[in-house]
Structure 1
């Protein structure tokens, strides 16, 4: 149906969209709350730390990290500042480029992310992985990958 040039969602599309947006928000809220309670860190802090833990030498450029975790560079900077105060990350000039800044995961940061990972994986399983069958989970991943590529 088109009114005023807008291609409105049909009833099924609108219902699916609303289930997606509410479900994704509820999931993120639950994961964040459970990480806060179990490990004293937010989901966005955990995501940043976990990406560093998987990077070569546990180091990433701040700009690449922002792109990877789909956050603004400003938000990554604020998150990095909080994590640096805890001793979990250190900033340094990018190797071979005096203008760039890299973020490096410290040993205590690695310990923190490993501890938090236990709670996080349990929560992800409880609230998503064990709720839907494996085929649906794989399709959800493929679908969201397409969305990310498009954006």
Structure 2
């Protein structure tokens, strides 16, 4: 058994700050979207990824990759969104084993209504407190971390 390589003071400081962001940011994004639109951040992100897709439709596996989600998590969220009339599922014509998820007109209206408030929250909570150089540095740092977490490049965040 090898000896533990403990974090230096600088590494620990960075790690503690990252864990704070991991805890605080999702809750802040959920709060804004829940208050303003009755959505969680993940529900909004799912609708947003569908809104950007051709014909506002994706295979479930592609939607999972774009939302950085596991199929079981995505399935639970799609079930809730489907119950609210925001998406609908259908068999995939090209692959009978696959399922497509499409944004309904109600889902489109919901994402259009939610987008300005969400962007304002993202700006207020993260982007506007950084300089352009810091935004670029943050992107570079997160690219390295995402590659470590998703070495096969399956998630949308791995594309950038």
TM tier, shorter chain?
over 0.9
**Could you list the runs of 5+ residues in structure 2 that have no partner in the other structure?**
150-160
Which residue is 1:5 aligned to? Answer: 3
Which residue is 1:121 aligned to? Answer: 119
Q: Secondary structure at the match of 1:142?
A: helix
Which residue is 2:90 aligned to? Answer: 92
Number of positions where the alignment pairs a residue of Structure 1 with one of Structure 2: 149
Q: Secondary structure at the match of 2:101?
A: strand
Deviation at 1:67, TM superposition (A): 1.9
Choose which of 103, 108, 112 in structure 1 pairs with 2:110.
112
Q: Secondary structure at the match of 2:126?
A: helix
Which residue is 1:81 aligned to? Answer: 79
Deviation at 1:78, TM superposition (A): 0.6
Which residue is 1:64 aligned to? Answer: 62
Which residue is 1:49 aligned to? Answer: 47
Deviation at 1:24, TM superposition (A): 3.0
Note if 1:15 corresponds to 2:23: no
- TM-score between both structures, scaled by the size of structure 2: 0.88
Deviation at 1:4, TM superposition (A): 5.0
1:101-149 superposed Cα distances (whole Å, 9 cap, x missing partner):
1100111101100111111001001111111111111211222122212
- Runs of at least 4 residues off by over 6 Å: none
Aligned mates of 1:95, 1:149 — CA distance in 2: 33
1:33-89 superposed Cα distances (whole Å, 9 cap, x missing partner):
010000110000001000000111111111121122121111100100000011110
Which residue is 1:147 aligned to? Answer: 145
Aligned mates of 1:144, 1:78 — CA distance in 2: 27
Aligned mates of 1:5, 1:88 — CA distance in 2: 53
1:13-44 superposed Cα distances (whole Å, 9 cap, x missing partner):
01001101102321111011010000110000
**Could you list the runs of 5+ residues in structure 1 that have no partner in the other structure?**
none
Q: Secondary structure at the match of 2:97?
A: coil
CA-atom RMSD, angstroms?
Answer: 1.4
